[in-house]
Amino acid sequence: MEIDVFTLFPEWFQWFSAQRHVHNALVAGTSLQCVNFREHTELSGGQVDDTPFGGGAGMVLRVDVMDSALRAHYGIDPVRLREQRRVIALVPGGRTLDDRLVDELAAEPALTLLCGRYEGFDERIVEHFASDTISIGSYVLSGGELAAMVVCDTVLRKLPGALGDERSALEESFSPALGGDPEYPHYTRPAEYRGWHVPEVLLSGHHERIGAWRRERSRERGEHRDGARSR
Ligand SMILES: C[S@@+](CC[C@H](N)C(=O)[O-])C[C@H]1O[C@@H](n2cnc3c(N)ncnc32)[C@H](O)[C@@H]1O
Residue 225 in this model has a pLDDT that exceeds 90: no
Q: What pLDDT sits at residue 168?
A: 77
Owning domain of residue 210: 171-227
37-89 tens-digit pLDDT: 999 999 999 999 999 999 999 999 999 999 999 999 999 999 999 999 999 99
Q: Would 161 be classed as within a structural domain?
A: no
Q: Would 163 be classed as within a structural domain?
A: no
Residue 33 in this model has a pLDDT that exceeds 90: yes
CATH of the domain at 62: 3.40.1280.10
Q: Would 164 be classed as within a structural domain?
A: no
The mean pLDDT of 139-150, rounded to a whole number, is 98
| DSSP letters spanning 154-218 | HHHTTSTTSSSSGGGGTSSTT-GGGTTPPPPP---S-SEETTEEPPGGGGS--HHHHHHHHHHHH
The pairing of strands 60-61 and 86-96 is unpaired
Q: How many domains does the chain have?
A: 2
Query: What is the CA(140)–ligand 1 centre distance, in A?
Result: 5
Q: What pLDDT sits at residue 216?
A: 98
Quick check: CB of 135 below 6 Å from ligand 1? yes
Q: What pLDDT sits at residue 227?
A: 56
Same domain, 71 and 147: yes
Task: Work out the burial of residue 7: count CB atoms within 10 Å of its CB; fewer than 13 is exposed, 13-18 middle, 19 or more buried.
Answer: buried
Q: Would 166 be classed as within a structural domain?
A: no
Average pLDDT, the chain: 95
Nearest alpha-carbon partner for 122 in 67, 66, 61, 49: 61
Same domain, 19 and 89: yes
- pTM to 2 decimals? 0.95
Ligand 1, atom 9, residue with closest C-alpha: 92
Q: What pLDDT sits at residue 87?
A: 98
Percent of the chain with pLDDT over 90: 91
Same domain, 202 and 146: no
Quick check: CB of 130 below 6 Å from ligand 1? no
Q: What pLDDT sits at residue 230?
A: 53
Lowest average pLDDT, out of 51-60, 194-203, 221-230, goes to 221-230
The pairing of strands 86-96 and 132-135 is parallel
Same domain, 66 and 137: yes
Same domain, 128 and 29: yes
Quick check: CB of 60 below 6 Å from ligand 1? no
Count helices and strands (H / E) in the chain. Answer: 8, 9
Same domain, 123 and 218: no
Q: Would 128 be classed as within a structural domain?
A: yes
Choice from 12, 91, 95 to test ligand 1 binding pocket (greatest atom count within 8 A of CB): 91
92-135 tens-digit pLDDT: 999 999 999 999 999 999 999 999 999 999 999 999 999 999 99
Q: How far apart are CA 113 and CA 97, in angstroms?
A: 13
Same domain, 6 and 87: yes
Same domain, 54 and 137: yes
